[in-house]
Amino acid sequence: MKIFNTETKRKEEFVPLEPGKVRMYVCGPTVYNFIHIGNARPMIVFDTARRYMEYKGYEVNYVSNFTDVDDKIIAKAIEEGVSAQEISERYIAECKKDMEGMNVKPATTHPLATQEIDGMIDMIQTLIDKGYAYNVDGTVYFRTRKFKDYGKLSHKNLDDLRAGNRSLLVTGEDQKEDPLDFVLWKPKKEGEPSWPSPWSDGRPGWHIECSVMSKKYLGEQIDIHAGGEDLIFPHHENEIAQSECCNGKIFSKYWMHNAFLNIDNRKMSKSLGNFFTVREISEKYDLQVLRFFMLSAHYRSPLNFSAELMESSKNALERIRNAVSNLEFLAKSAADGEMTAAEQEKAAELETYRQKFEEAMDDDFNTADAIAAIFELVKFANSNADGESTKAFVESLCGEILRLCDVMGIIAKEKEELLDTEIERLIEERQAARKAKNFARADEIRSELLEKGITLLDTREGVKWKRA
């Protein structure tokens, strides 16, 4: 399996630090609003990379944070007259709903910056003790000049950057030793959330959060660090500086960055105001269509959002779903027993499509080609299964389509709609199981319903339910 490493600008063979295991960190969103579909791109593409590595047999420890302390969160809290915590908790919950809709698996751990302040203070202190950071009136800066590898990820010419930044220096920032020095800790302003520290009551800088959370949940060295390409500089460059100076080890072996999702060929972003939230898209489309759209391009190619492309993704997904439901229909009335000799020969051809799929994914997660391989498989299934086919043959075709779609996180089987009466019956069964202290069965029913899009609410007036 090859991965394009931003640091070396080459596709490299993936060799994990520990055989069979992958430690992966993906920078998560700042939670001050609903996520937009630009934010959804890294979620979907790196979730797909994770799923593929799991398919290949790796155990993936996947960590993705929520940045829950930030100027934008504070501004939104002031605007609404509520606490910053209320804002971040609200949008984390909303983000998780969107992730579920897009079939993005929850991370192994979703750390929150505000829960990791002690670790940040420790790392900053170590950096000060080692001479990599300095405190000026309660603000702690990282001394970039001291880290000889600074700039290795972004391949930037630092002298040019310094010269450029110097002329842009604003008052208050000139207490820095070097224009490229960045903040590790800053004193609070009136009304802002803050934590005590040896330097001032204040809060951490953004970059230190990820260095600390990655170290705590994955260790000092990780296999893959990922995020959108806007994070290469300064965020990831600064994370490398902090982590490598603190731990004395190479931080991440591979750096992966997705290209932007654009609209009218400009980056979709909150600040430009040219965005759609995932929630808005979900009102018009099944979010599986959004996922399909994202995966129809390579993650390192810019992708332009348009209604036409969404429509063609919808049609393409429908073609796969139609093939699956057709095969399921055939399977119901097909003859039991072994495949015929001719069918066995055909079934052996399935291997070719799987190989094509794997070759594409092994080549730096080329999801566009992987989807093309799935379409070839669908075409093959459509033209080889009919009313005469055995159940075993039809099921092997259908199983293969579902398996490959599942690796992409694409749900190719339409959810069966449960009738209201069926839901009521299951709820009654769950109540009875609980009464009999059979909690395992009760939980099983709850998850069975959840899988079919039904959420149960245990209220004082009894159990209520709603469809997702």
Nearer to Zn ion, 27 or 361 (CB): 27
Nearer to Zn ion, 27 or 240 (CB): 27
268 binds, among Zn ion, ligand AMP, none (CB under 5 to 8 A by kind): ligand AMP
Rounded to 10 degrees, the C-alpha dihedral 88/91/92/96 comes to 180
Nearer to ligand AMP, 46 or 199 (CB): 46
Nearer to Zn ion, 214 or 389 (CB): 214
Residue tagged 């080609």 (tokens): 369
101 binds, among ligand AMP, Zn ion, none (CB under 5 to 8 A by kind): none
Min dist. Cβ of residue 44 to ligand AMP (A)? 10
Nearer to ligand AMP, 73 or 245 (CB): 73
**Among candidates 441, 417, 440, 416, which has minimal Cα distance to 428?**
441
Min dist. Cβ of residue 379 to Zn ion (A)? 42
Contacts with 77 (C-beta within 8 Å, 6 or more apart), sequence order: 83, 84, 86, 87
Q: Which two tokens stand for residue 257?
A: 């960055």
Q: What are phi and psi of 258, to 5 degrees?
A: -85, 150
205 binds, among ligand AMP, Zn ion, none (CB under 5 to 8 A by kind): none
Min dist. Cβ of residue 4 to ligand AMP (A)? 16
**Among candidates 114, 95, 111, 120, which has minimal Cα distance to 32?**
95
Nearer to Zn ion, 91 or 293 (CB): 91
From 203-211, 270-278, 412-420, 446-454, give the range in contact with Zn ion by CB under 5 A.
203-211
208 binds Zn ion (CB under 5 A): no
206 binds, among ligand AMP, Zn ion, none (CB under 5 to 8 A by kind): none
Residues in the chain: 468
210 binds, among Zn ion, ligand AMP, none (CB under 5 to 8 A by kind): Zn ion
Min dist. Cβ of residue 213 to Zn ion (A)? 8
Nearer to ligand AMP, 39 or 214 (CB): 39
328 binds, among ligand AMP, Zn ion, none (CB under 5 to 8 A by kind): none
Nearer to ligand AMP, 273 or 337 (CB): 273
Q: What are phi and psi of 259, to 5 degrees?
A: -80, 170
Nearer to ligand AMP, 72 or 314 (CB): 72
Min dist. Cβ of residue 406 to ligand AMP (A)? 24
The whole-angstrom separation of Cα 218 and Cα 14 is 18
Min dist. Cβ of residue 175 to Zn ion (A)? 25
Burial call 364-392: b when 16+ CB within 10 Å, e when fewer:
bbbbebbbebbeebbebbeebbeeebbbb
Nearer to Zn ion, 210 or 327 (CB): 210
Min dist. Cβ of residue 210 to Zn ion (A)? 3
Q: Which of 60, 112, 153, 210 binds Zn ion (CB under 5 A)?
A: 210
Min dist. Cβ of residue 27 to Zn ion (A)? 3
The whole-angstrom separation of Cα 465 and Cα 420 is 10
Sign, CA torsion 185/187/191/193: positive
From 202-210, 265-273, 417-425, 443-451, give the range in contact with Zn ion by CB under 5 A.
202-210
Instruction: Number of residues interacting with Zn ion: please give it, by CB under 5 A.
Output: 2
Min dist. Cβ of residue 360 to ligand AMP (A)? 22
269 binds, among ligand AMP, Zn ion, none (CB under 5 to 8 A by kind): ligand AMP
Q: Which of 22, 24, 27, 385 binds Zn ion (CB under 5 A)?
A: 27
Nearer to Zn ion, 276 or 299 (CB): 299
Min dist. Cβ of residue 18 to ligand AMP (A)? 26
Name the residue whose CB lies closest to ligand AMP: 228
Min dist. Cβ of residue 5 to ligand AMP (A)? 17
Residues that bind ligand AMP (CB under 6 A): 27, 29-30, 38-39, 41-42, 227-228, 230-231, 258, 260-261, 267-269
Q: Which two tokens stand for residue 404?
A: 């490959």
Sign, CA torsion 336/341/343/345: positive
29 binds, among ligand AMP, Zn ion, none (CB under 5 to 8 A by kind): ligand AMP
Residues in contact with Zn ion by CB under 5 A are 27, 210
